[in-house]
Structure 1
Amino acid sequence: MATADQVKALVKSHAEGDDERFYAVALQVAARAARSGHSAIAQELRDLVDTLRSRQPSTSAARRPTPVVRPRGELAGLLDVSYPENTLVALVLEERVQERLYRVVLEQRQRDVLAAQGFSPERRLLLIGPPGTGKTMTARAVAGELRLPLFSVRLDSLITKMMGETAAKLRLIFDALAETRGVYLFDEVDALAGERAQGNDVGEIRRVLNSFLQFLEQDPSESLIVAASNHPQMLDRALFRRFESVIEYPLPSPPVAEQVIRNRLATVPTVGIDWEVVREASRSHSHAELTLAAESAAKAAILTDGKVTTHGLVCALRDRLTDMDR
């Protein structure tokens, strides 16, 4: 199932003591196995990687990157900084999405190897899809995997009534990208990069978008830029060309939905769950909605000294659909 290149990469990373690269390649092998129909082997490989990672020293000091100078002055109001310890293996996503994310992380870890051959790693990601499908969590996981700080751009502070000020603040953020390597998240980027052809647009707003596109084009930093949008149809077409990877996050398929629920109920007693029924009831739910429904069923069971049942899960899932329709 593993390609010759993957076998060589596994041997080389093991010889060099590069555990993270070893795990990343192993997960690529798992993804390839899953696409070939060997889902059981793929899951065994993922579980093995997860187990091995959990045995490594995982103190906060070991996982957390050395804190850089925190945003000061005007930047303090534009960027929120955190040091995530999330990992990609903890995300439950479609195989194709997972594979692309592992590729991005692998290229970043081996950026010196790529540079020696005249290539640059992917570092601009545009994540699109419905709310609650894992886009923001992806930014946290990528930062955690690479042990980089996560800088979340505060669009409410960035976008002001004075559009000239907005462009100036954008320049401050992109200057920070060059000074401090990290993962910079532009969440709900459609507020900043809406389609320029809209009839209700004004010249100043178009100039802000043009500035954003220009900054993206000319950015020479080694930082990663992650932009996320729930409404890709609202984004200006030129924005898509500024990102090496445009990754679409669909609503979870039934198998993924089941895994999301199983993960959330891992520490809660269950009894006789009919997963086929649960999978059917989980259709049209996002990852976030599935998690909330599982938590609701679990809390109801805990408060009644009972166990989570198929009926309890299905009722919780239906309640979430009702809440979404309001």
Structure 2
Amino acid sequence: MATAEQIKALLRSHADRNDQRFYATALQVAAQEARQGHHKLASDIKDMVEKSQSARSLGAIQSKTTPLTTQPKGDLQGLLEITHVPVHMGELVLGDDVKERLDRVLLEQRQKDRLAKFGLFPRRKLMFTGPPGTGKTMSASALSTELKLPLYKIVLDSLITRFMGETAAKLRLIFDHIKQTRAVYLFDEFDAIGTQRGSQNDVGEIRRVLNSFLIFVEQDDSESIILACTNHPELLDKALYRRFDDIIKFDKPNENQIRQLVESRLTMFDARDLEWSHVTSEAIGLSAADITRATEDAAKDAILHFNNKITTALVVKAIHQRHNLK
């Protein structure tokens, strides 16, 4: 029989729509049944998981070959890139404040017609700040997925040119698209164009881009969501902040979030004997992305060298290696 923890894990992963964790937990149940001699039940569970995974993989392939929205063409080609990677809110490991504020954005967007009756508008111009690897870009994908909207990424390299006036014209094209096509628009590494005017490294064309952006974003009255992400909020021009409806600060994970991240990558392993206090304390200071990669490295070592046995020493070693890359 499945343990109480396994049953709860199955229900949580179903509620979060986390298929990977759901299947991994189901296979753990099958393995436990096999160890108890219930080979028929174990085989049935494994077959059901494999059939379901195959069906979902086929559906994913079909959706990728026939996307609902295609890459922009014409003058916008190279300026906007559309992504088709679904991320659900339940898959993110975020601080309570960040999650609450993202949930508020989702609620206001879903109830925008109700707000409109009272002359109110949902949050839709957002700035995400924080260190690299803390979930800013994934949160943009999650907003896109949960609201069933396309996600466009603005390609800053193509946007910024050395010819005076061209960048502003390109920026106008982007904001015209924002008005015509409701979607989530991501200006990643926004400090590339949002640097303070008059700073020591100020470049004339960048200053013109920032001035144009300030005008366009203030005048924008579309229904699209505009996201600006930056790892260096201290570099941004102060005039930017009042153009956004909300500034959401992402932080590196705390010990509880570190455990969630590690557990989510070790669902195929027996991690009950891990010394969690040791693992989490050693991982403090790493980003969520680095913790995920470290855990995956430890899992690979366990598979290739230690007969699938995951240990505290393996995880901590991988964490130390990530720290040393900094």
TM normalised by structure 2 equals 0.80
Taking the aligned partners of 2:294 and 2:68, their CA distance within structure 1 comes to 37
2:312 aligned residue? 310
Say whether 1:105 aligns with 2:68: no
After superposition, residues 3-18 of structure 1 pair within 5 angstroms as none
Find the counterpart in structure 1 of residue 210 from structure 2: 209
Matches within 5 A, 1:35-114: 50-52=13-15, 54=17, 67-68=68-69, 70-114=71-115
- Could you list the structure 1 runs, at least 4 aligned residues long, displaced by more than 3 angstroms after superposition: 46-50, 52-66
Deviation at 1:67, TM superposition (A): 2.0
1:66 shift after superposition: 7.5
Match of 1:270 in 2: 271
- Note the C-alpha offset of 1:272: 1.2
Question: What's the counterpart of residue 224 of structure 1?
Answer: 225
Question: SS where residue 77 of structure 1 aligns?
Answer: coil
1:110-142 CA distance string (max 9 Å, x none) = 111111111100001100000000000010010
Residue 321, structure 1, aligned to residue 323, structure 2: yes
Residue 310 of structure 2 aligns with an amino acid whose one-letter code is V
Question: Whole-Å Cα distance in 2 between the matches of residues 251 and 286 of structure 1?
Answer: 5
Provide the C-alpha distance between the structure 2 equivalents of 1:76 and 1:268, rounded to a whole number of angstroms.
Answer: 45
For residues 71 and 301 of structure 2, the distance between their equivalents in structure 1, rounded to whole angstroms, comes to: 42
- Note if contact 1:68-1:180 (Cα within 8 Å) is conserved in structure 2: no
Distance in 2, matches of 1:297 and 1:51, equals 26
TM-score normalized by the length of structure 1? 0.80
SS at match of 1:99: helix
Q: In angstroms, what is the RMSD of aligned CA positions? A: 2.4
Judged with a 3 Å threshold, the aligned counterparts in structure 2 of structure 1 residues 49 and 221 are, in CA distance, closer, same or farther, namely farther
Counting matched residue pairs gives 280
Cα gap change, 1:299 to 1:69, in 2 (>3 Å): closer
CA distance in structure 2 between the partners assigned to 1:100 and 1:115 by the alignment: 20
Counterpart AA for 2:309: K
Q: Within 2, Cα distance between the matches of 1:163 and 1:154?
A: 18
Change (3 A) 1:311 1:61: closer
Deviation string 1:2-50 (CA, Å, 9 cap, x unpaired) is xxxxxxxxxxxxxxxxxxxxxxxxxxxxxxxxxxxxxxxxxx8x98565
Q: Match of 1:138, SS?
A: helix
Using the alignment, how far apart are the partners of 2:170 and 2:70 within structure 1?
19
C-alpha distance in 2, partners of 1:292/1:169?
37
Confirm or deny: 8 A CA contact 1:84 1:150 kept in the other structure: no
- Aligned with 1:227: secondary structure? strand
Query: In the alignment, which residue of structure 1 is the partner of 2:37?
Result: none
Which protein shows a greater Rg?
A: 2
- Which residue matches 1:242? 243
1:55–1:301 distance in 2 versus 1, CA, 3 Å: closer
**Deviation, structure 1 residue 51:** 2.0
Matches within 5 A, 1:145-184: 145-184=146-185
- Mean Cα deviation higher: 101-110 or 60-69: 60-69
Letter paired with 1:313: V
> Where does structure 1 lack aligned partners over 5 or more consecutive residues?
1-43
Answer whether contact 2:189 2:230 (CA < 8 A) is retained.
yes
Q: 1:98 to 1:55 in 2, by over 3 A?
A: closer
Q: Deviations over 1:167-186 (max 9, x none)?
A: 11100100000111000000
Structure 1 residues 247-283: Cα deviation after superposition (integer angstroms, max 9, x where no partner): 0001111111111111111123435100000010011
Gaps of 5+ in 2: 1-7, 20-54
CA separation of 1:118/1:300 partners in 2, compared to 1, >3 Å: closer, same or farther?
Answer: same
Tell me which amino acid in the other structure corresponds to 1:90: E
2:14 maps to a residue whose letter is T
User: Are 1:255 and 2:256 matched, yes or no?
Assistant: yes
Shift of 1:307: 1.1
Distance 1:207 1:55 in 2: 44
Amino acid at match of 2:320: R
